[in-house]
C-alpha cells in the first residue's frame, strides 16, 4: 500500500514541477504516473551502474557528480517516454534535484504516517 501511495504522490510531484518553468512537460496524469514509474525503475537499475562507473569522478567532485547522474536518469526517462519531455540539461538537473527533494519529503511523511498507524493500541 505504501509503495502505491508513494508512486501516486511522486506522480503528483512531477505534475507540480511542470507548473514551474523548468523545461519539463507532462502530457497527462497518466503520463506522469508512467514517468514516475520509469524514473524509479531507472534509479533502481541504471543509476547504481552509473555511480559505479563514475566513482572516481564522484570522489574527485566530493559527490557533486551525483547531481549529474540524477539529471542523466531524468533525461533517459524523457527519452524513453512520449508523454514526458525535458528540454535541456539545465531543466533535467533542476528538475531532478527538486523531484528528489519532493521524494524525500514524501518518504518522511509516509514513514511517519505508516509508523503511527501500525502501532498497537494502548492498554
- The band of 71, judged by pLDDT with boundaries at 50, 70 and 90, is very high
Q: Is residue 120 part of a domain?
A: no
Q: How far is it, in rounded angstroms, from Cα 24 to Cα 20?
A: 8
The answer to whether residue 68 scores a pLDDT higher than 70 is yes
Burial class (CB in 10 A: 0-12, 13-18, 19+), 46: middle
Structural domain tally of the chain? Answer: 1
Averaged pLDDT, 75-101: 92
**In the predicted structure, residue 16 carries a pLDDT above the cut 90:** yes
Q: For residue 92, what are the domain limits?
A: 2-114
Q: Decide: 96 and 74 in contact? Cβ < 8 Å.
A: yes
Residue 99 lies in a domain: yes
Answer yes or no: is 121 within a domain: no
Would you say residue 23 lies in a domain? Answer: yes
Q: Does any domain span residue 20?
A: yes
| pLDDT surpasses 70 at 118 | no
Q: Using DSSP bridges, classify how beta strands 24-26 and 84-86 pair: parallel, antiparallel or unpaired.
A: antiparallel
Q: Are 20 and 35 in contact (CB under 8 A)?
A: no
119: in domain:
no
| Cα–Cα distance, 37 to 43 (Å, whole number) | 10
Q: Is residue 91 included in any domain, yes or no?
A: yes
Q: Is residue 122 a part of any domain in this protein?
A: no
Amino acid at each position: 500500500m505504501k509503495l502505491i501511495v508513494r508512486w501516486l504522490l511522486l506522480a503528483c510531484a512531477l505534475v507540480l514541477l511542470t507548473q514551474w518553468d523548468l523545461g519539463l512537460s507532462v502530457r497527462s496524469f497518466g503520463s506522469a504516473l508512467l514517468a514516475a514509474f520509469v524514473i524509479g525503475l531507472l534509479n533502481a537499475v541504471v543509476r547504481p551502474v552509473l555511480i559505479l562507473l563514475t566513482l572516481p569522478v564522484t570522489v574527485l567532485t566530493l559527490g557533486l557528480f551525483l547531481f549529474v547522474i540524477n539529471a542523466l536518469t531524468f533525461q533517459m526517462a524523457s527519452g524513453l517516454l512520449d508523454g514526458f519531455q525535458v528540454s535541456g540539461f539545465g531543466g533535467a538537473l533542476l528538475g531532478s534535484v527538486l523531484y528528489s527533494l519532493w521524494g524525500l519529503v514524501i518518504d518522511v511523511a509516509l514513514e511517519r504516517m505508516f509508523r503511527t498507524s501500525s502501532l498497537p493500541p494502548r492498554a
